[in-house]
Chains A and B, each alone.
Chain A
């Protein structure tokens, strides 16, 4: 009998596999025109001549995608389970730390869900198969991030205040409108703007500021659950970032007419992202009991150095550094102090605690910010501490003026004058609009029709739109703050206010054996 000499089939290389299992999945529409099918792809003025030029540098097929994602999930949930089984929350550096997490988890989780929706829509809009599949994977990634974060909220929520109503608060509480409006702004833009806003400007240029120093700090502060979901998400982000860079190069290489449009998107979304990150600046400098890196150092490494390398590379297309980037460097000495001051002031209306920095914290801040802290910010925090020592903890009960674009209170100083609050205004169709910066004003002026519709929390309170149905603000004895908290589902005296004297603090001291057991019951 003749011996068969058939050799086993050759194993496919990465490139061949990607070509067959990704590109090969596409088809040409026949009974409907492409213009009808991809109806949003042209209105921004971006010209694409050849979608096949889109490259996925990782050449990830759906098969490998599921394989690697499953492995990430197995690792992640093993650690989250271990954290829960071993009372992991007791091993964080200090009870104050959890407030960093409250802000992160309640602010970012809905934003990740926004990103999930955005990429699902983008995957539907892009005619290129490579781009559509990359967006589809990313939409699934973002949903995974939401789930991992909800699991982490679920664990911490058993022991700490402020997290139980996060989903309800997203649509109502004042500072939550900052990340919410950021993603809604992106989601309601054209497909190319969405891609440049999220994949490139936010993920490539700015998420390192969130995930690298913050997750490393979470590890340093003993928070195994957060490090684990953070790094697990970040392994997806690294892929998203790479696609963000490929996407921008693809668009720039397709047609020279795309360059000014892309530059405008970059200018806008760099500024939007920078304003959003002011929340991260105070997390690094004020909220972490054990600190790893100052905001200024992080901005130097991840924006000036890393972003600088990136823009060097893009300069061959005629792309320049984003507009007003110099202002972000000039303000790096001030951003976190000014932002934390706002949250110290408005702690009464926030679902996490704030506090005046301790002597040790202030020594660190003086060392990290030798040109600004002692001169401009230390006196203010010392005054807060004196007031507090006299039993008169300062709470600001007014409503702040918000920036029409980023929705952050007007708390930043002029880029060239730390003693003066930055303020810009624009008249549009008989109304006056207020802005925190040149960047936010320019964004408004380019699309006023969009930003006049902004739902500004402070303005909505004044208009009477932030009370439960049936509440009458004209009624005698009407208590606006109490009614607002009901609308927020914020439990006053528990979720809000200073960390000192809070239920969280009392519990923490009790669990750690640092105070008499009856301290918590009394709180």
Chain B
């Protein structure tokens, strides 16, 4: 077992569709760190990170299908659990 602090992350392309998603992730995950790199955004969080459909819809004022998250996804880390409302990344379930 390694002695690193376990973190999960998600990386998204930088574009118009992901701006509200990144904002929603920041809103729902106060402990998340957002790193902006050329053409991509990486968001790390200790142990758990959630993407909520409702928060994204609040920001854009439009309906959003959570599965469309996959279109702009670059990478992720952690166990994934997804339903109609939220996508959760976590370790140590």
Contacts and interface: CB of A to CB of B under 8 A. Distances in A.
B82 A216 contact: no
Nearest to B47: A309
Contacts of A310: 77
Q: Indicate the size class of the contact surface on chain B.
A: 35 or more
A68 B75 contact: no
B42 to A, nearest CB: 8
Contacts of B7: 305-306, 309
Nearest to A304: B4
Contacts of B76: 238, 241-242
B74 interface: yes
B67 interface: yes
Contact of A219 (B9, B38, B72): B38
Contact of B1 (A59, A219, A312): A312
Given A59-B82, A220-B38, A241-B75, A313 B70 contact: no
Q: Indicate the size class of the contact surface on chain A.
A: 35 or more
Given A14-B84, A57-B82, A212 B67 contact: no
B62 interface: no
B80 A58 contact: yes
Contacts of B1: 311-312, 315, 320-321
A233 to B, nearest CB: 10
Interface string A60-72: 1000100010011
Contact of B4 (A215, A227, A312): A312
B70 A58 contact: yes
Contacts of B75: 207-208, 211-212, 234, 237-238, 241
A23 interface: no
A225 to B, nearest CB: 13
A212 B11 contact: yes
Contacts of A208: 75, 77
B27 to A, nearest CB: 22
A235 interface: yes
Contacts of B40: 212, 215-216, 219, 231
A68 B67 CA distance: 9
Contacts of A129: none
Interface in B1-60: 1-9, 11, 13, 37-40, 42
B46 to A, nearest CB: 10
A216 B39 contact: yes
Contacts of B74: 211-212, 215, 231, 234-235, 238
A207 B77 CA distance: 12
A108 to B, nearest CB: 17
B1 to A, nearest CB: 4
Given A231-B39, A313-B79, 13 more contacts: A13-B83, A14-B84, A57-B81, A68-B68, A212-B42, A216-B37, A231-B74, A234-B74, A238-B73, A238-B76, A249-B79, A310-B77, A312-B6
